[in-house]
Amino acid sequence: MSMPGSNTFPSSECPADECQWADIGVNLTDRQFAEDREAVLQRAREAGVTRLLLTGTNVEESRQAVALCQRYPNQGLFCTAGLHPHSARFCNDDVLSELRELLEQPAVAAAGEMGLDFNRDFSPRPDQENAFEAQLALAVDHGKPVFLHQRDAHDRFLPILKAWRDRLPAVVVHCFTDQRRPLFDYLDLDCFIGITGWVCDERRGRELAELVPHIPGNRLLLETDAPYLLPRDLPEPPAKKRRNEPCLLPWIGARVATLRGETTQALAQQTLANTLAFLQRDWPAALTHTTPAHP
């Protein structure tokens, strides 16, 4: 498979004109993309990544994600709106009111990123739990699927999610890197599981690689989490040093397909169908050529 600078794909992989991919986790508002977002979107199209779900991790980034969806209306972009657990200490009535307004925007397809992160504890754990539940309530009120984050917090995350699950239209546990028991706990709740380039890391991703074949086909979603989690096994460097981007999703997909004993094309088709099922809406693919809606 070619890397970001090329428009061609070897025949051993799924050609971009035969596969369409959906990347359900792209931090396109990140400053690492400030100078070349249009080029990033173009490389994604050329790689067959025709639908991108942009991640909102606080009110300002969620607004920026909405603005990008509006700026590039034909690029297959939707976004989320939420407050990451790292920022849960800032959650208050004003923040929740702003998130409520954002969830009413047509570009916002899911609530989040929300959840618990007890690995870094950038926010006190009680604040994280309160912000998580408050955002789940917003998602229920707006009938939105949820985009969830969990790290080293499964024992508290699971009962909170269980209490709300029946009222939520759909759930994805984003960037899953946990162990077997959490995986099956989430599958028992009919959650989607987001897999990233972590699975391409021969050191840290070994346990995840062993679990990937056990994810039911209709529960699997793919994401880059760009600009983070650059796959370690790329044969050539990316367009920008050490930066992940959506055009690398097919590389991750090919690794996942190999682990599952599937063809890359079948995996692309299945995960695209799963993405549409998660968001429960029509999602037109990116056009081949487009211009911004405004400067």
pLDDT tens, position by position, 29-60: 999 999 999 999 999 999 999 999 999 999 99
Q: Is 116 left (phi over 0), alpha (psi -120 to 50) or beta?
A: beta
Please calculate the CA angle 47-50-52 and round it to the nearest 5 degrees.
Answer: 110
* Mean per-residue pLDDT, 246-250: 97
Per-residue pLDDT tens over the stretch 16-30:
778 999 999 999 999
**Residue partners of 192: CB distance under 8 A and separation at least 6:** 170, 171, 172, 173, 219, 220, 221, 274, 278
Question: What is the arithmetic mean of pLDDT over 164-179?
Answer: 98
Using pLDDT thresholds of 50, 70 and 90, give the confidence band for residue 1.
Answer: very low
Residue 86: alpha-carbon gap to chain centroid? 17
Total-model pTM:
0.93
Question: HEC string of 220-255?
Answer: EEECCCECCCCCCCCCCCCCCCCCCCHHHHHHHHHH
Q: Output DSSP code: residue 88.
A: G
- In the predicted structure, residue 237 carries a pLDDT above the cut 80: yes
Phi/psi for 101 (5° steps) reads -65, -40
Mean pLDDT of the chain: 93
Task: Work out the pLDDT band at 294, boundaries 50, 70, 90.
Answer: low
The arithmetic mean of pLDDT across residues 148-163, rounded, is 98
120 torsion bin: left (phi>0), alpha (psi -120 to 50), beta (else)? alpha
Other C-beta atoms closer than 10 Å to the C-beta of 198 total 19
Per DSSP, the residues of 182-215 read HHHHHHHTT-EEEE-GGGG-TTTTHHHHHHGGGS
- 108-150 pLDDT, tens digit per residue, is 999 999 999 999 999 999 999 999 999 999 999 999 999 999 9
Residue 265 has pLDDT above 80, yes or no: yes
Q: How far apart (Å, rounded) are the C-alpha atoms in residues 253 and 30? A: 23
Q: How far apart are CA 3 and CA 248, in angstroms?
A: 7
> Of 8-17, 91-100, 196-205, where does mean pLDDT reach its minimum?
8-17
- Better-predicted residue by pLDDT, 283 or 191: 191
Instruction: Work out the average pLDDT over 160-175.
Output: 98
CA pair distance 69, 270, nearest whole angstrom: 25
Phi, psi angles (nearest 5°) of residue 131: -65, -40
Of residues 2 and 45, more confidence is placed in 45
Q: Answer yes or no: is pLDDT of 3 > 60.
A: no
194 pairs with which residues across the strands? 221
Instruction: Say how far apart CA 64 and CA 284 lie, in whole Å.
Output: 21
Q: What are 215-234's pLDDT values in tens digits?
A: 999 999 999 999 999 999 99
Task: For the chain, give the percent of residues with pLDDT over 90.
Answer: 86
What local confidence, expressed as pLDDT, does residue 289 receive?
53
pLDDT recorded at residue 288: 61
- Tell me the per-residue pLDDT of 178-206, one tens digit each, with 9 for 90 and over: 999 999 999 999 999 999 999 999 999 99
Which pLDDT band holds residue 6 (cuts at 50, 70, 90)?
very low
Q: Which of 219, 189, 212 is nearest to 259 (CA)?
A: 212
Average the pLDDT over 86-105 and give the result: 98
